[in-house]
Chain A
Amino acid sequence: MLLLPGAERERRALLLGAALLISWVLALWPQPAVDEAMRGAAHRYGAPIARGAGWLEAWLRAGGSAPASPAPERTLEAVERAAALPPPLSGGLVWIEVPVRERDPSAGELLLAAGSRLGLGEGMVVACGPHYVGRIVGVTADAALVRGVSAADERTGVAVEGAEAVGECIAIGRGRQGSPVLNWIAAGGEPEEDGREVSFRGRGSDPPALAALGLRIGRAVRQGDAARGDLVWAIEGAWPAAAEGRVCVAAGALPAEPVHAPELLRASAPPRLAADGVFGTQASCWEAPTGFPPAALLRSGRIVGPVIVTGGGAAWVRMDPPAAWGAAAVAVGRERFTRGGGGIPRGLWIGREGDAPPGAGAAEFVRLPAAARPQP
């Protein structure tokens, strides 16, 4: 097609404008599959450049890494183990200590790292220290699903202390919609004021020794407006922090072998690039492992940060200092540990407030393998 120079210029401007518009649309509304393919290509074919840049960066920064922090005095596991043990049981029952694999506090559910192979079964009561956590509603060979008082439509027998007598009621969970509400068995049993303690009463089929423990659940509070007819009594209270890491299950006998924390997927992580070309020391690039998608990077026994991007044989890690972990960390004194979730195991040492991310030592990628979720 023969076009005059002016028309040809217009045609090119239109084509270029359309291409630029598409790139802007893809930049502002990213499509994961397209981004992944383009990033994979750039990291695969650009790997020699990235390795050269990494070598240059390491050569220019020689001897500049931060000194290693001394190891923490206590691990999160030791702290949680001490906090998780409930009062002793009688009547032939024992507590089995089980690590938690995954948690969903808003749904009121926990996934335990042990199942029927270690003697756990449906209906068993789960506690953490003097607190009631929930009941096992589904098991596989290596996992157990626990539903707490707040899980949707979960019904739990509870006792509410009153000034003179103890009111018996059923707590009905509402899941993500809100706190569990109290359904009074006997009319007129409501407490006189907010803040009365709610404890576990159990079912008729539960051993009396369990109900006798009086495991705590929370406090009874009024919600809604009596004038509008929507006044309800609800339970205010959350699981203790330690219940996100370790709980105890009431069982008839101890398992033949102790319950271990789930085995982690690990792979060595050769460095590719110590800094990001746009964000500097906020991110670093490593050779990605084959076989599993890494969740976090460990170096010298400390966690460096979460993996934010993978593709083309590279894995980018965000270099988070301990203070940047926020709600994703658990504090034990000055020490910070990972809270777990998103494939990152719980209890990995982050460091102390004010520490820089670890800059030297052998590095490895870790991931908590996913487990089959039992059906209730």
Chain B
Amino acid sequence: MSGTPRWRVLLPVALLATALAPALRAAPGGAHLPDVWLLLAFGAIPVPAPFAWRRAVLLTLLLAFLRTSVSSLPFFPALAGLGGAIVLRDLLHRALSVEWPARLLVGACAAALPTWLDARAGATLGLELESGVWWARVLGAAAFWTAWPAARRFLRRGRP
């Protein structure tokens, strides 16, 4: 499980991201930013999925809980969206190559699931995700997933 960050790193990062998320969303253009909890899940849960899945499951549950605590959306769309994105990313990643166009496609497909669920659940409350915002969030998350290996190499530089 060398690819999975430790809880003592993950937990403060997740709490900080949750505390910053409403301010980021309220900033000009903030509605177009990708979902921070999805990015955390993409970054913290490796592919292919590790044999011990407990940490990945607990992290997904924690991120869904944190997301619900600062949003009007219910818990289950958040959990289903994050869980679905992680599973779909894993399945597609195994099937496709690891080159960047394939990573972009995998990231976009995986991010489309929670974004669609957000739009659907928001519509029942009278909250709207415009199509431009929807695409920006999906492509933003896909770009993150494409750039993640390089970012990770940069973060881990100098370590054995």
Q: Which of B15, B72, B76 has the most chain A CB atoms inside 10 A of its CB?
A: B72
Distance (Å) between the CB of B31 and the closest chain A CB? 5
Interface residue A114 (Cβ < 8 Å from any Cβ of B): no
Interface residue A273 (Cβ < 8 Å from any Cβ of B): yes
Chain B residues with CB below 8 A from A283, complex form? 72, 125, 127
**Binary contact readout B63-81 vs A (1 if CB under 8 angstroms, 0 otherwise):** 0011111111111110111
Q: Given A5-B51, A308-B125: A277 and B81 within 8 A (CB)?
A: no
Chain B residues with CB below 8 A from A282, complex form? 127-128
Bound: A194/B8 CA distance, A? 80
Interface residue A53 (Cβ < 8 Å from any Cβ of B): yes
Distance (Å) between the CB of A222 and the closest chain B CB? 41
Q: Which of A35, A278, A320 contacts B75 (CB 8 A)?
A: A35
Distance (Å) between the CB of B74 and the closest chain A CB? 4
Bound: A308/B84 CA distance, A? 27
Chain B residues with CB below 8 A from A276, complex form? 22, 25, 70-72, 127
Q: Which candidate, A44-52, A95-103, A206-214, A260-268, is the interface stretch facing chain B?
A: A44-52
Determine whether the beta carbon of A281 is less than 8 Å from that of B117: no
Bound: A316/B74 CA distance, A? 12
Distance (Å) between the CB of A138 and the closest chain B CB? 34
Q: Which of A27, A46, A60, A285 contacts B76 (CB 8 A)?
A: A27
Q: Given A49-B19, A50-B70: A61 and B26 within 8 A (CB)?
A: yes
Interface residue A111 (Cβ < 8 Å from any Cβ of B): no
Chain B residues with CB below 8 A from A38, complex form? 68, 74-76
Q: Which of A20, A35, A54, A274 contacts B74 (CB 8 A)?
A: A35
Distance (Å) between the CB of B105 and the closest chain A CB? 22
Determine whether the beta carbon of A42 is less than 8 Å from that of B69: yes
Bound: A50/B23 CA distance, A? 11
Q: Given A39-B68, A278-B25: A23 and B127 within 8 A (CB)?
A: no
Determine whether the beta carbon of A277 is less than 8 Å from that of B22: yes
Bound: A282/B130 CA distance, A? 12
Interface residue A292 (Cβ < 8 Å from any Cβ of B): no
Interface residue B30 (Cβ < 8 Å from any Cβ of A): yes
**A54 nearest CB neighbor, chain B only:** B22
Chain B residues with CB below 8 A from A26, complex form? 76, 80
Bound: A30/B74 CA distance, A? 9
Chain A residues with CB below 8 A from B87, complex form? 16, 20
Q: Which of A28, A50, A273, A318 contacts B127 (CB 8 A)?
A: A318
Label chain B's interface by main secondary structure.
helix
**Binary contact readout A34-71 vs B (1 if CB under 8 angstroms, 0 otherwise):** 11001100110111011011101100110000000000
Determine whether the beta carbon of B53 is less than 8 Å from that of A16: yes
Interface residue A9 (Cβ < 8 Å from any Cβ of B): yes
Chain A residues with CB below 8 A from B125, complex form? 283, 308-309, 316, 318
**Chain B positions 97-156 with a Cβ under 8 Å from a chain A Cβ:** 117-118, 120-122, 124-129
Determine whether the beta carbon of B19 is less than 8 Å from that of A56: yes
Chain B residues with CB below 8 A from A329, complex form? none
Determine whether the beta carbon of B72 is less than 8 Å from that of A56: no
Determine whether the beta carbon of A24 is less than 8 Å from that of B84: yes
Interface residue A88 (Cβ < 8 Å from any Cβ of B): no
Interface residue B45 (Cβ < 8 Å from any Cβ of A): no
Chain A residues with CB below 8 A from B84, complex form? 20, 24
Determine whether the beta carbon of B126 is less than 8 Å from that of A273: no
Determine whether the beta carbon of B69 is less than 8 Å from that of A46: yes
Distance (Å) between the CB of B157 and the closest chain A CB? 30
**Binary contact readout A275-319 vs B (1 if CB under 8 angstroms, 0 otherwise):** 111111111010000000000000000000010110000001010
Chain A residues with CB below 8 A from B10, complex form? none
Q: Which of A34, A56, A276, A281 has the most chain B CB atoms inside 10 A of its CB?
A: A276
Bound: A5/B50 CA distance, A? 13
Chain A residues with CB below 8 A from B72, complex form? 276, 278-279, 283, 285, 308-309, 316
Bound: A318/B128 CA distance, A? 11
Interface residue A12 (Cβ < 8 Å from any Cβ of B): yes
Bound: A266/B125 CA distance, A? 23
Q: Which of A30, A38, A50, A278 has the most chain B CB atoms inside 10 A of its CB?
A: A278
Q: Given A27-B81, A318-B125: A278 and B71 within 8 A (CB)?
A: yes
Distance (Å) between the CB of B155 and the closest chain A CB? 24
Q: Which of A27, A49, A274, A275 has the most chain B CB atoms inside 10 A of its CB?
A: A27
Distance (Å) between the CB of B128 and the closest chain A CB? 7
Determine whether the beta carbon of A45 is less than 8 Å from that of B26: no
Determine whether the beta carbon of A281 is less than 8 Å from that of B74: no
A-B contact pairs, 14 of them (CB 8 A): A9-B51, A16-B57, A20-B87, A23-B80, A27-B76, A35-B74, A42-B75, A46-B66, A49-B15, A53-B19, A54-B22, A60-B23, A275-B26, A283-B127
